Structure 1
Amino acid sequence: PDSLAIDYISAAEPPGTSNLVFKVKVTSLSSVPPNSRWRIVWNSYAAQSYDPAAEQFYAGMRTDSNGAVTFDYGTIATAVVGLVIGVPTETPIGALPGSSFNADGTITMIVPKSAVGNPQPGDLLGAVNGRTFTGDTSQTQNLERSTLLVDHTFVKGQRDNGHPAATYAVVGNVACAAPTPTPTPKPHKK
């Protein structure tokens, strides 16, 4: 469905804040399905400060059985039992105030850097990708690998499946400097 088909994802650092801003653009959210999730996921060893088994953070939007929307962030850990890799599981940490979505399909998640390990300029957020899920039940609502997965950007930059997951280099929340004006030559009168 249009509400779960990812067109693109993006990451940014707005000036004058200490936030990361992630966007997921789906085709349309004029109708928001219940029991669904829209996620941005990235690799970060800082996730281990919350859960020693976690290697990823997520930020996202979720709907409950009534279609009510909430925004949250948390960690994703994949248990390994013997030689068998388990199912990646989300552990919510907190809400994302100020996050929003529009009927045009744009989902904006505002994540305080301090909530996700406080990445500094030069740090990398690895394997940034988008994921959508629908049909969540109380047993599946925190699973990342399941038959409920609808779309992802694991191996695509957009819908063409031609790009690997992206890495985002943290640059800091400073405004770009204004360009230095080029002097305009004026003719001399004699």
Structure 2
Amino acid sequence: MSKSNPIFSSTVGKKLVMSLTGLFLCLFLIVHLIGNLQLFYNDAGYAFNKYAVFMTTFPPIKIVSYLLYASVIIHALYALILTRKNKAARPIGYKVYDGNAGSKWNSRNMGILGTIVLVFLVTHMQNFWYQYHWGEVPYIEYTKDLATGEISHQEISASDFHEFTSYVENGKEITKAKDLYRQVEFAFENIGLVVLYIIAMGAL
């Protein structure tokens, strides 16, 4: 009598893992979107750049980021495994096959949509995550009047920036940060990148 396969090594188990990792990715996407809405504040990127620092330095967020990377890899890997397994189970196609019967276009083309999303993720990470950590991102200094809330800013050179700093001096908050807000502006001046994002949002 053969033993049954453990749940996570079976086909159903792999689909369950894909569902859970996919759900996690969707939840992360929603939270990420909410955070990125700070791009629309009329403050020269003050709120968004502070948010970027929080997202890259707060320990619990960093742990979630590692879970995100693992989820992307596991989701993609299991998708490939299941696709190969399905093809191996029926090496010869159906004699008569109506691809439109009982299924929607997106469910029949998840491989294409998944590839588009993967290209989007790699491009997104390269343009922002990689550039923010190791690329040549502009630097900025904000001066916020704590009495009026008015914010002024000026670009600073790399020699004037060592790490994110924020301190109060003479009733004003001085903040020096990497200007990811400006990096976003630079990136989206590329019409090709804009088109890719629109297509990827449709794929999602």
TM-score, normalization: structure 2?
0.25
Which has the higher Rg, Structure 1 or Structure 2?
A: 2
Point out the structure with the larger helix share: 2
TM norm structure 1: 0.26
